[in-house]
């Protein structure tokens, strides 16, 4: 049955998009966020956007997300900046090199604009990269980058203009007898459906309602750094993103980088242990900072990297690295959207759209059905960008 009145819990990119797409379908929407819009994982995301996925459903989601990012670019302060995405494995890393080649073949079957690159071709695409130690590389040209918080803020503003109610600074909970109501400090409010898109907090919210889900929050780290290009005068700093550097994932070394207004954004200091979503270190570890600067300095023709800002964020893992997206209890109107494995922001335009469609009676994605797990599974946390 199509709901008339929906609560969305979580003001990140996925929740904001779902709220916007629901209200555009004529649904009354109230978005609850305990802090500020994009104040949690979205605001700490890297802003790397690509549709280079090997599975058919993931490729379709990625393609739709890039389409919507482009359509929205230029509204408010949101901008999608076209930037190729390169991923590579080093010589001697045959396992990841073969995986990249297999990925590209599968992606091309699904219409993804990708190609394998010989070392000379890689040097043409990314002249600032060191390429002499690269064994395998590929490029996706249908890709870009952005400031993640600007996207979430834009979608919330658009949702409000369409009639949605947005309540920031509002903590909500669910009780064990969940029947469509969210619990506030001063009572309860009832809805036809509740979408829980609260990132790392989703697991605890749903546990209060009597539902166990198979997710684990885990900590990732990133930093921004200015730099001096080799051959430039001493003291000459690059603080803009015009250095001719693509987005790059070095699968062998396990890090990524992209252009940033401060120079570079470098990340993926993944902790493969479960984090407490309320008690975790928001700053980056000194060991990560030192390692990230060293790895980026080796990969790029730059020197004098100097940190501008370093931080951590939380991602959520699942046993099969696919999200939990769908009805947990359709009869009672409980819907979950979590478990993005670090890919939530880049896929949020299509995921939010999919949430709205499913709530309004269209089919969901079977592989993402949250009831495929009992919530008691034991599983290891795996880096989201890992090349298998």
Q: What is the pLDDT of residues 130-140, one digit of tens each?
A: 999 999 999 99
pLDDT in tens, 55-91: 999 999 999 999 999 999 999 999 999 999 999 999 9
C-alpha distance from residue 86 to each of 69, 232, 250 (Å): 20, 26, 9
Confidence bin at 195 (pLDDT 50/70/90): very high
Calculate mean pLDDT across residues 374-381.
95
Tell me which architecture the domain covering 84-142+217-317 has in CATH: 2-Layer Sandwich (3.30)
Which residues are CB-neighbours of 338 under 8 A, at least 6 positions away? 196, 197, 198, 199, 202, 203, 213, 215, 316, 323, 324, 325
Which runs of E-coded beta strand occur in the chain? 5-9, 28-33, 48-50, 81-82, 85-90, 114-116, 134-140, 143-145, 165-168, 181-184, 187-190, 193-196, 216-229, 247-250, 255-260, 263-267, 302-317, 324-329, 334-338
pLDDT band at residue 350 under the 50/70/90 scheme: very high
User: Would you kindly state where each structural domain of the chain is located, as residue ranges?
Assistant: 5-47+148-214+318-372, 84-142+217-317
Fill in the DSSP letter of residue 233.
P
Q: Cβ atoms within 10 A of the Cβ of 356, count?
A: 23
* Per-residue pLDDT, 231: 56
Q: What is the mean pLDDT of the chain?
A: 93
**What is the predicted pLDDT for the residue at 240?**
46
**pLDDT, position 304:** 82
Q: What is the dihedral sign for C-alpha 122, 124, 126, 131?
A: positive
pLDDT of residue 25: 97
Residue 237: predicted pLDDT: 53
What pLDDT is stored for residue 313 in this prediction? 97
5-47+148-214+318-372 CATH? 3.50.50.60
CB-based contact 197:59 (threshold 8 Å) = no
Compute the distance between CA of residue 159 and CA of residue 85 in angstroms, rounded to an integer: 31
- Overall average pLDDT of the 155-173 stretch: 98
pLDDT of residue 303: 75
pLDDT at 302: 75
With contact defined as beta carbons under 8 Å apart, do 198 and 205 qualify?
yes
- CA nearest 293: which of 383, 223, 233? 223
When pLDDT is cut at 50, 70 and 90, the band that residue 119 belongs to is: confident
Q: What is the mean pLDDT of residues 345-350?
A: 98
pLDDT tier for residue 221 given thresholds of 50, 70 and 90: very high
Per-residue model confidence as pLDDT tens digits over 227-280 = 766 555 555 555 445 556 899 999 999 999 999 998 999 998 889 999 999 999
Rg (CA), the chain: 21
């Amino acid at each position: 049955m199509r709901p008339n009145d929906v609560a969305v819990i979580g003001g990140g990119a996925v929740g904001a998009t779902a709220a916007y797409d629901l209200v555009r379908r004529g649904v009354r929407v109230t978005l609850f966020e305990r802090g500020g819009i994009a104040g949690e994982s979205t605001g700490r995301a890297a802003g790397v956007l690509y549709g280079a996925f090997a599975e058919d459903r993931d490729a379709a989601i990625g393609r739709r997300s890039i389409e919507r990012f482009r359509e929205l670019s230029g509204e408010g302060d949101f901008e999608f900046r076209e930037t190729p995405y390169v991923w590579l494995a080093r010589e001697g890393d045959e396992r990841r090199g073969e995986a990249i080649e297999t990925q590209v073949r599968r992606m091309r079957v699904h219409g993804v604009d990708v190609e394998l690159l010989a070392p000379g071709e890689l040097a043409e695409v990314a002249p600032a990269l060191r390429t002499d130690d690269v064994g395998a590389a590929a490029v996706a040209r249908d890709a870009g980058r952005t400031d993640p918080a600007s996207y979430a803020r834009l979608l919330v503003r658009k949702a409000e203009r369409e009639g949605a109610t947005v309540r920031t600074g509002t903590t909500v909970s669910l009780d064990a007898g969940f029947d469509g109501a969210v619990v506030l400090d001063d009572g309860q409010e009832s809805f036809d459906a509740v979408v829980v898109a609260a990132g790392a907090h989703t697991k605890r919210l749903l546990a209060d309602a009597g539902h166990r889900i198979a997710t684990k929050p885990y900590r990732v780290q990133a930093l921004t750094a200015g730099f001096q290009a080799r051959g430039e005068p001493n003291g000459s700093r690059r603080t803009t993103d015009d250095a001719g550097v693509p987005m790059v994932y070095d699968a062998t070394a396990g890090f990524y980088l992209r252009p940033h207004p401060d120079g570079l954004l470098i990340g993926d200091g993944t902790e493969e242990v479960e984090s407490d979503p309320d008690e975790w270190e928001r700053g980056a570890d000194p060991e990560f900072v030192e390692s990230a600067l060293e790895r980026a300095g080796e990969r790029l023709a730059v020197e004098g990297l100097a940190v501008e800002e370093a931080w951590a964020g939380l991602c959520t893992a699942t046993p099969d690295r696919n999200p939990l997206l769908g009805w947990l209890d359709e009869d009672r109107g409980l819907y979950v959207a979590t478990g993005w494995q670090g890919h939530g922001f880049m896929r949020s335009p299509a995921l939010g759209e999919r949430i709205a469609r499913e709530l309004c009676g269209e089919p969901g994605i079977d592989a993402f059905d949250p009831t495929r797990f009992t919530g008691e599974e034991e599983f290891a946390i795996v880096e989201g960008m890992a090349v298998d």
